[in-house]
Amino acid sequence: MKNADLDILLQEGEGSMLEYKENLNSSLARELVAFANTAGGKILLGVRDDSTVKGIPDTNELRARIQDIALKCDPSVKILIERVGEVTAIIVKESNAKPVQCSDGFFWRQGSVSQKLSREEIRSFFQQNEAIRFDLSVTPRFSYPEDFDPDKFHDWLSKSSITKSGAVEDILVNIEAAERSGGRMLFRNAGVLFFAKKPRHFFNQAYITCILFKGTSKVHILDRKDFDGGIVADIEDSLHFIERNTRVEYIIEKLRREEIPQYPMAAIREAITNAVMHRDWFIEGANVFVEIFSDRIEVSSPGDLPRGMHPEDLGHKSVRRNPLIADILHRIFYIEKAGTGIRRMREGAVSLGYPEPDFKNGNFFTATFYPVKEKTSQKGFPSDIAGLSQQVPGKYPASTPQAPHKHPASTRQAVQILNKALYEPKSRGELQETLGLKDREHFRKTYLEPLIAEGLLELTIPDKPRSPKQKYRTTTKGRAFTEITSRYGQ
């Protein structure tokens, strides 16, 4: 800093990034913490409040005391000390480990004043800087076992690969949904969202709103449902709502009838799951929305992108705002590895012939899906039948989605293999055992290789196809194929 710079600072007056102090005293720690918690700033020692220079001796003792005060902050504050004429300037860096405190508490800079934070301001500060994780925090009002729903837990457990013989309490603690303290079971917020009898009794924002609109705007509502049965149930109920309120297209080729959903359901499942997983749960006045229009479906979740995440990172990088919620979903195979959600949505739509979805970031993060282009069969049959998903069972003959054209096996056998590798990779032997076959070469040529060639199954070690550690997993395209066949018959 030069004398000219000092003259400018003296003319500027105290503000959000500038503080004058006549002498070094105990209040310096507050100023250091306040600047570190805000945007950084400068403290001029030897300057009165009216901007006149009183001066302060430049001694090793003075510099040592300043450094000692900065080091005793928690975490320590990074500073640079410079001498300009008769003034000692302390340049304070903004902390990258907020919030910072001193022995007097937490402070931040508001205008020209270093203001002590109240309890609520501290809580808000921690939330905004994601120093407090919503899903990891304990819910004091939750009482175990009174508020616990064992049916939800056992349904979740049946979807996981966890051994079913363990004690319920041990499993809950091991998956970190709860913790033991003083002989009590304390549930974390994530555990409540998954396993409470009534999650909204504890968190009013714990629900998904599904709305069917007439036309392309939010004017006339044809149907609306709020689902609040817990994270897993809400995801599934939202998908069923979409199925009830969208069309299914008939394609008839070679005496087979294939029914194609109007929208890419596997990709939309991914979007709803991601919306629940990545939403900002601290925003209590908003919830996840699934909105159906005549030309699109929008899935929206409250909150901007997590800190450290940028729009250009979508599909390439993952910052988990709610790591425990993500982990519990991962254990039941509702999500895969980090950073693949956006990519899986895109691939899940495009690989089946649907338009690529759009993504928009703001106060809400929104994924928009578009319907499949209407087709007509070779024989001129109608391209779609509106509301087929709402038909009375048995009114129409069961459909048979067409198996991959290169696949010589039946659809049923293909689905058996794909379902086996749907949630976690399986070895060749495990897949072969699913069909009860003994001939390894027959299984490889008749089933395994055609499924891989069709992109329904993939190798976990693609560069070493004959590796003894090789396993196979169902792709996004394969997942969509199994969902179509399971929903609309074989």
pTM above 0.75, yes or no: no
For residues 192 and 120, which has the higher predicted lDDT (pLDDT)?
Answer: 192
Q: What is the pLDDT of residue 288?
A: 97
Q: What is the pLDDT of residues 169-196, one digit of tens each?
A: 999 998 989 999 888 999 999 999 999 9
Nearest to 331 by CA among 224, 203, 172: 172
Cβ atoms 102, 128 nearer than 8 A: no
| CATH architecture classification, 3-128 | 2-Layer Sandwich (3.30)
For residues 480 and 453, which has the higher predicted lDDT (pLDDT)?
Answer: 453
Q: How confident is the model at residue 157 (pLDDT cuts 50, 70, 90)?
A: very high
For residues 155 and 117, which has the higher predicted lDDT (pLDDT)?
Answer: 155
SS3 465: coil
Q: What is the pLDDT of residues 250-268, one digit of tens each?
A: 665 544 556 688 899 989 9
pLDDT at 123 over 90: no
Q: How confident is the model at residue 3 (pLDDT cuts 50, 70, 90)?
A: confident
Cβ atoms 441, 428 nearer than 8 A: no
- Whole-angstrom Cα distance, residue 427 to residue 13? 72
The residues spanned by each domain of the chain are 3-128, 150-201, 208-369, 401-488
394 alpha carbon, distance to own chain's centre? 40
| Rounded-to-5 percentages of helix, strand, coil across the chain | 35, 20, 45
- Whole-angstrom Cα distance, residue 244 to residue 5? 69
Could you please state the CATH topology (level 3) that the domain comprising 401-488 is classified under.
Answer: Arc Repressor Mutant, subunit A (1.10.10)
| CB-based contacts of 250, cutoff 8 Å, min separation 6 | 257, 258, 259, 377, 381, 382, 383, 384, 385
- Rounded mean pLDDT of 386-401? 32
11, 46, 48, 89, 310 from 5: Cα distances, Å: 10, 16, 17, 11, 36
- Domain 208-369 CATH (choose: 3.30.565.60, 3.40.50.300, 1.10.287.180, 3.40.50.720): 3.30.565.60
* Range with lowest mean pLDDT among 21-35, 125-139, 286-300: 125-139
- Rounded mean pLDDT of 305-328? 68
* Range with lowest mean pLDDT among 143-152, 219-228, 233-242, 319-328: 319-328
Question: What is the residue-averaged pLDDT of the chain?
Answer: 82
Q: What is the pLDDT of residue 399?
A: 33
